Amino acid sequence: MESAIDIWGNINFRESLILYLIVIPAVLFIAWLLAVLVQRVSRPEQTYGSRYPFIGRIKLWGLFVVPALVFMVVALAGPSGFGDMIKPLRGNVEIVVLLDNSISMKAADIRPSRLEIAKKEILRLEPLLKDGDKVGLFTFGKTSRRNLFLTRDLGVFFEQVSAVNFPKSEGFYGDETIFDSDFATTLEHIFQSLDRQDASSEGYARDQRYLYRPGVKTNRMVLIFSDGDDQFLNYAPIRPEDILAVAEEKAEYKKKLADVADEYRKRGLKIYPVGVGTRSGVDWFSLLEGYRRGIDYPGYADFEEEWRRQITRLDRNNLSSLAKSTGAVFSGHDWTVENAQGNVGSYLEYVVSSNRRPILELVAEEEESPIWQYCLLVAVGFLVLGIATYPFRGYLRSEDE
C-alpha cells in the first residue's frame, strides 16, 4: 500500500506503513539494555592484569547495529523532502588563468596560431563555471602581467582573455614581455599577487601586509596555457667563453623554480597545464613574419642566423614537471592541443570538478527529492564504525575459548 504522511514538516514517506518495522529495532534495543545490565551484574570480579573491553559483542549490537537497522527501515520507507533541505553540494572554485604571451605562441604550427588556440580553449571554461566562482588572468613572457585580479565577474574575465594579443609592429621590439618565457619569475609573481589580494580582503592595511600569513586554499588553482617552451633553459651558447656563465645562470633559475614550487605547496596551490603546439615545431625566424627587419627586430646577420637554427616546439616535459612539483594529479587525461581539431574540454571539466570541495548547504527545493540514499549511507556508517571499533582479536577468537 502506497501512502504519504507528513513527518517533521518537510519530509514525506512513500511507504509510510514500513515505518512500523521500527518496532523491531526498538525491541532489540530494549533487549540490549537488559543484556548489558545482566552482564554487568553477573560478570566475575576483575583480577589483576585483566580488563574488560570498552566495545564488546553486546555493546556492538546496541551502539551500532540497532541504529543502523533504524536508518535502514527509514530508507526502505522511501523518504523524500521539499522546502529548505540540507544537501551536499560542490563548492566554489578560484581559477587563476596564466596565458603564455611570449613570441613562441605566435607560431602557426597550429593555425591560426598557438595563442589563438589557447584563447579558444580558455573559453571552454565558461560552461564549467557557476555563480560564486572566481577567475583571474595573468599573461607572461620574459615578465609577468596581472591583467585581472580574482573576480566573480566572469564577463570581464572572458573579455580580457579575448583582448590578449601580440604588440603591433611599432611596439614589437620595445616590448620585452614577449621575448623569452620566465616561468620562475611568473609563478612567483602569481602567488605573491594572490597573497596581497588575500591580505587586503582580510582587512590588512597596505603597510601591514607583511604580517599576513597565507593559509591553504584547496579550491584554488592555476591553469597555465602555454607551449612550455622555456627559451632560457633551451638556450645553447655559441661562444665557448659563455658556456660556464650560462650554466651557472641555469642552475640559479632551476633553484628558483624549486623554491617557488615549495611556496605553492605551502598554499595548497596546484598548477594544471594545458599544452598548445606541435612536437615537431617551427623555426624561430618564422615568428618574425609581419615585422620589419632593422625596425621591429635587429637587422644584423648573427641575429637572423641564431633565430633560424632554433626551433620552438611543444615541451610537454617542462609543463608536466611544473605541475607535478606542486602536487597536481592529471595522469590519464589528454591535456594538450596538438592540432586544430583537438581540444581539452573533458580535461578542463575534470580539473574544475576535482577542485570543487563538497559542502553542506541549505537549499530551497520546489519539488520533492528522494533522501533515502542518505539514510542508507548513515546506516552503513554505523556498521563501519562498529566494525572499526571492535577489537581485532575479538574477530579471531573462537567460541570454544
Residue 361 falls inside a structural domain: no
* CA distance linking residue 245 with residue 233, whole number of Å: 13
Are 118 and 189 in the same domain? yes
Residue 263 falls inside a structural domain: yes
Amino acid 290: pLDDT: 78
pTM score of the predicted model: 0.70
Domain housing 19: 5-85+368-396
Are 80 and 176 in the same domain? no
| Cell 602536487, residue located | 327
> In sequence order, what are the residues at sequence separation of 6 or more whose Cβ sits closer than 8 angstroms to the Cβ of residue 23?
none
| pLDDT mean for each 10 residues of the chain (401 residues) | 46 81 84 77 65 56 80 85 62 96 92 96 97 96 91 96 81 62 94 94 86 91 96 79 88 95 96 97 86 75 78 95 95 93 95 85 61 86 78 49 47
Amino acid 343: pLDDT: 94
Residue 20 falls inside a structural domain: yes
Are 24 and 120 in the same domain? no
Amino acid 211: pLDDT: 86
| Number of separate domains in the chain | 2
Are 99 and 79 in the same domain? no
**Beta strand pairing status for 220-226 and 270-276?**
parallel
What is the grid cell recorded at 243? 658556456
Q: What is the pLDDT of residues 298-348, one digit of tens each?
A: 777 777 777 788 899 999 999 999 999 999 999 889 999 999 889 999 999
* CA distance linking residue 61 with residue 32, whole number of Å: 7
